[in-house]
Structure 1
Amino acid sequence: MNFMAFGLDRENLLAVDQIGRSFLYNHDSRLLRTGMPKMRGPISDPISVAVGDSLYVMSGNPGQLPGQGCFQALLHTRLPGSRAEDWCWYSLQPPPLFADHDNGVDRSSRFEIGAYAVVDDSQIWISTSGAGTYSYDIASGAWSKLGNWALPFRGRAEYIPEHNLWLGFTPDDLQLCTADLTASCELRPPVLHDVWTDMNRPEDWTLTDASIVPLGSGHVCVVRFFLTCPEESIEDVYGDALEKTETFAVLEGVKLLKAGWAQLRMVKHKSERYVFGHDLVIPL
């Protein structure tokens, strides 16, 4: 099951199960709607972005199942053949990655989306290692190629309007960083402005993923997911050694402040650790 927040103030939370059934919870009204329309089809490794009051969902690896079903949008609009307005899923044109690069390459890796962002509340940018960076224009429904370069982020980058910059994580070590995507062009990829490398953690904490939740006024919640393996181990029914693992998240409040011309300062606030469980095991 996947959970995706959208809406002008991220007041809607959509839950989608493994067969595409969706359930909508509105934070303002505290109401849960179970009779939501079903998705047009399953999407593997989904990524989602919120634009206005709409939600756009795309396969994070379009090369696995290329076709019309890999890009869908949940829009509140007039229903076909009716005067009533309601939520409805629509299939959108998939990115033209294969039309430009269909020479027998390994689609499963070269066209995996490594980074993505919303620009000017009107475009969705996606970046791959094998096909470069493409832009989807929401108004026209057309794709265009921005360049052969890749975005300098890993995963979703969030726009921080107070500083006119995008905040995300570096591709290699998931350090917080910023970049100005509007300064890029076909021959000039965006470059990082700020990189904060002061994330301290115990040596046995393995960082597996990270995410950002914008809170407004330059505040964000940074969520990092960790894996750690305690020293003790257990045995399975065959006598083979297994190592128990612990997975948890660390949530940290961060505020971005001006620190001079074209520079930002990161102020850390309270952090909390949330443990998911201790029952995962891996073979030694």
Structure 2
Amino acid sequence: MNKWRRYLYLVVDEWGQGAYPLRRIDSSTLFFSRNQVKEAATAAAAFTIEETPLPRPQLSFTPSLHRGNLKFISLFGNGRKKSHLAALEYGGVSHIYDVEHRTMQEIASPNECQFCDPVALAVAESLYVLNNVLCKTNDDSSWHCLQPLPFVLEPGYERRFIESYTTSDGGSNILISTPGVGTYSLDVASGSWRKAGDWELPFRGRADFFPEYGVWLGFSSQDNLLCCSSDITAAVLEGAPLDMVWEDLNPPRRWIPRKSHLVYLGSNKFCVAKLFEREFNIVSELGCVPYTEAFAVFTGLVLKPSTDHSGLVMLKHRSHIYRFSGITTCWVF
């Protein structure tokens, strides 16, 4: 029998509170039962978003530094079952939390100050974070500095941002794309960089390769829709369009998209979690007060061959909306 992950994990940055609560969400609530699937395919229930209260936090992470902030990195670890979550505090105290065994381990923190979410990929039993690699040996974690990207050392270099990243060749290479620069490849074995080309990956943020389907899945750089590609190089060099596998939520215009997460649960099941903001005015005795509401929509999807067997499509199941108090950001694993 195929097994799939029972839980999703949500970390919320509660601005002004100094805490990052970790919540566990039952992933089965995002999917219809077998008896409901056929009925839901034609029913309005398949296209509604259910108001859902946030579950109680399992624990909260707190920065060690005054006004410090944490960055969180997705599940990784030894073997096939990845259960480690990293909470990084640059210049402070960082931790690895095992979500399965509920144990916490303090690790050394990187010294570089990062203001944006780090680019992170788990390859084999190591975790690559920007120019650092986190290796786990004999239950002791340490950071090892890699070579910087070559163009960073060129005269007149101006700070640029990484637009998209993924792995290739079975995880032996990491591809990183930067607008106006192109794509560079990191050889995991040697730790050396080479320029793959002037082209850029057609995704926004992280894309993951799924060998069981032979495709990369991620959000497109043009419209942030969930797409797939069996050959990302051809998609760029030959202008081949990405294959859209899901038409998205079609949210109201006033919903401002902020972040998108794709989580694979196993057994063809996925979760797309999208963080939105909505701006409006609250009428009070002082007049109209601007207010920003943040909320996340979790949607359960099942990946299947298209009806004409020409590609892949996502079958939508249930969508839940979780509302936060005030402006915030979140991570979903």
Q: Deviation string for 1:70-116 (max 9, x for gaps)?
A: x1111023xxxxxx6621111111111235xx4646x23xx311111
Is 2:245–2:314's contact at 8 Å kept on the other side of the alignment?
no
Residue in structure 1 matched with residue 296 of structure 2 by the alignment: 249
1:74 is aligned, of 128, 131, 134, to 134
1:179 is aligned, of 226, 229, 235, to 229
1:219 aligns with 2:258: no
Total equivalences in the alignment: 253
Higher relative contact order (CA 8 A, sep 6+): 2
Is 1:72–1:91's contact at 8 Å kept on the other side of the alignment?
yes
Between structures 1 and 2, the one with greater helix share? 2
1:94 is aligned, of 124, 148, 151, to 148
The structural deviation recorded for 1:269 is 1.7
Is 1:15–1:22's contact at 8 Å kept on the other side of the alignment?
yes
- Structure 1 residue runs without a partner (length 5+): 59-70, 78-83
Determine the C-alpha separation between the residues in 1 that align with 2:87 and 2:240: 34
2:190 maps to amino acid: S
Distance 1:139 1:91, change over 3 A: same
Is 2:296–2:322's contact at 8 Å kept on the other side of the alignment?
yes
Determine the C-alpha separation between the residues in 2 that align with 1:10 and 1:20: 25
Greater displacement, 266-275 / 131-140: 266-275
The structural deviation recorded for 1:265 is 1.5
Determine the C-alpha separation between the residues in 2 that align with 1:20 and 1:122: 31
1:267 aligns with 2:321: no
Give runs of aligned pairs for residues 179-218 of structure 1, distance below 5 A: 179-181=229-231, 184=234, 188=238, 191-194=241-244, 196-218=246-268
Residue in structure 2 matched with residue 81 of structure 1 by the alignment: none
Determine the C-alpha separation between the residues in 2 that align with 1:22 and 1:266: 37
C-alpha RMSD over aligned residues? 2.6
Determine the C-alpha separation between the residues in 1 that align with 2:273 and 2:139: 36
User: TM-score normalised to the size of structure 1?
Assistant: 0.79
Distance 1:219 1:228, change over 3 A: same
1:4 aligns with 2:73: yes
The structural deviation recorded for 1:233 is 4.8
1:115 aligns with 2:164: yes
1:277 aligns with 2:325: yes
Percent of residue pairs identical: 36
User: TM-score normalised to the size of structure 2?
Assistant: 0.68
- Structure 2 residue runs without a partner (length 5+): 1-69, 329-333
Residue in structure 2 matched with residue 39 of structure 1 by the alignment: 110
Determine the C-alpha separation between the residues in 1 that align with 2:88 and 2:161: 22
Is 2:176–2:185's contact at 8 Å kept on the other side of the alignment?
yes
Determine the C-alpha separation between the residues in 2 that align with 1:2 and 1:132: 26
Residue in structure 2 matched with residue 53 of structure 1 by the alignment: 125
Determine the C-alpha separation between the residues in 1 that align with 2:235 and 2:294: 40
Is 2:235–2:241's contact at 8 Å kept on the other side of the alignment?
no
Determine the C-alpha separation between the residues in 1 that align with 2:156 and 2:111: 29
Distance 1:185 1:122, change over 3 A: farther
Is 2:88–2:94's contact at 8 Å kept on the other side of the alignment?
yes
Is 2:282–2:289's contact at 8 Å kept on the other side of the alignment?
no
